[in-house]
Chain A
């Protein structure tokens, strides 16, 4: 018997007990066991994500020690206001997502849809502010490889007059800072875009009642993903924006 035939044949197991609800897979005894298994798998995925972002963070720490003055000068070009605002927006979106999971636990369909929509909205606000910051980098010629000039660092403008001008070779190294800035925030933004895309699908399915009549493991595991992306930003924000304000 080929595998397809196995899948379509009624299995002997089904005759022994009553049919299980569609949201409970045959090989799980209870919804709770199914939930635990899915949650375990989701955490394993998130651990690979931690290793992935961890590599970027390690690169950042080592290069920051290596080209310290360049990293200080580079980070001074970021807007603390926009960074703080975006952190607050992302924390709000984590809160709305947590409330969404709570609504699904209580099987409240409209509340769930509302919280998910709020999360989508806040995610888009975050991406919009990020896009504005990227645009500013482009205008200031701070995009390594595409549009870069050391002018701001060898001859600091009046606006940054407390800043000592960097020698040319160190000023060139600000490209390392901005490369890592774009790699880390870009990879984070990509995770946000993927998250918002999945949320759009979840909202449609939640409206149809998929998570308030069956099980809500999908919502719960997506919540884990969304909070993980929030945690990545919680570390990116101080490392990229804050820690060099004084030197």
Chain B
């Protein structure tokens, strides 16, 4: 089969290979999980946990974000290039935030 014939076959197929198509069932489960975690984070905000209120809220937000990225944004089913791009981006972002915060909390170290 010559190369253009291969291309033609690919073009009449759905853009993804069938094993990459994420079904409505997966979307439905993720949708339900996201709504559940939204309810959970609201409920948790009414419980007195002192500094842990913020920690719990951010942890739940991170779980929700990971679910959206992996399933709604198809990263779980994407190529290694895409996975690496996303991971590198978030890693850089976390480095930037951590460095800023480290600088901020250590400026007046021992002076309080």
A residues at B contact (CB < 8 Å): 17-18, 20-21, 23-24, 29-32, 35-36, 39-40, 43-44, 46-47, 50-51, 54, 57-58, 61-62, 65, 80, 84, 87-88, 91-92, 94-95, 97-99, 102, 105-107, 215-217, 220, 223-224, 227-228, 230-231, 234-235, 237-239, 241-246
Distance in angstroms from B104 CB to nearest chain A CB is 6
Docked Cα-Cα span, A143 to B53, in Å, equals 27
- Which residue of chain A has its CB nearest to the CB of B44? A242
Q: Are B15 and A102 in contact (CB under 8 A)?
A: no
Other than A17-B4, A47-B89, A238-B41, give 6 A-B pairs with Cβ distance below 8 A: A30-B6, A84-B38, A98-B71, A105-B15, A242-B42, A243-B58
- A-B contact number at CB 8 A: 157
- Which residue of chain B has its CB nearest to the CB of A243? B54
Q: A interface, by DSSP: helix, strand, loop or mixed? A: helix
Distance in angstroms from A121 CB to nearest chain B CB is 16
Docked Cα-Cα span, A80 to B49, in Å, equals 18
Docked Cα-Cα span, A220 to B31, in Å, equals 18
Residues of chain B within 8 A (CB-CB) of A65 are: 104
Distance in angstroms from B7 CB to nearest chain A CB is 6
Q: Are A98 and B81 in contact (CB under 8 A)?
A: no
Contacts A91-B34, A231-B69, A234-B68; A31 near B23 (Cβ below 8 A): no
Q: Are B93 and A98 in contact (CB under 8 A)?
A: no
Q: B interface, by DSSP: helix, strand, loop or mixed? A: helix
Docked Cα-Cα span, A156 to B79, in Å, equals 55
Sample 28 A-B pairs with CB under 8 A, ordered by A number.
A20-B7, A24-B7, A31-B10, A43-B85, A50-B93, A58-B101, A62-B100, A62-B104, A88-B38, A91-B35, A94-B34, A95-B30, A95-B34, A98-B27, A98-B72, A105-B15, A230-B68, A234-B61, A234-B64, A238-B58, A239-B58, A241-B45, A242-B42, A242-B53, A243-B54, A243-B57, A246-B45, A246-B48
Q: Does residue B19 face the partner (Cβ distance < 8 Å to A)? A: no
Docked Cα-Cα span, A231 to B73, in Å, equals 11
Distance in angstroms from A243 CB to nearest chain B CB is 4
Docked Cα-Cα span, A247 to B24, in Å, equals 42
Q: Are B42 and A84 in contact (CB under 8 A)?
A: yes
B residues at A contact (CB < 8 Å): 3-4, 6-7, 10-11, 14-16, 21-24, 27-28, 30-31, 34-35, 38, 41-42, 45-46, 48-50, 53-54, 57-58, 60-61, 64-65, 68-69, 71-74, 78-79, 81-82, 85-86, 89-90, 92-93, 96-97, 100-101, 104
- Which residue of chain B has its CB nearest to the CB of A228? B73
Q: Are B45 and A43 in contact (CB under 8 A)?
A: no
Distance in angstroms from A14 CB to nearest chain B CB is 11
Q: Are A242 and B68 in contact (CB under 8 A)?
A: no
Docked Cα-Cα span, A80 to B96, in Å, equals 31
Contacts A21-B11, A54-B93, A242-B45; A29 near B85 (Cβ below 8 A): no
Residues of chain B within 8 A (CB-CB) of A95 are: 27-28, 30-31, 34, 72
Q: Are A32 and B10 in contact (CB under 8 A)?
A: yes
Q: Are A40 and B81 in contact (CB under 8 A)?
A: yes
Residues of chain B within 8 A (CB-CB) of A99 are: 24, 27
Distance in angstroms from A212 CB to nearest chain B CB is 10
Distance in angstroms from A60 CB to nearest chain B CB is 11
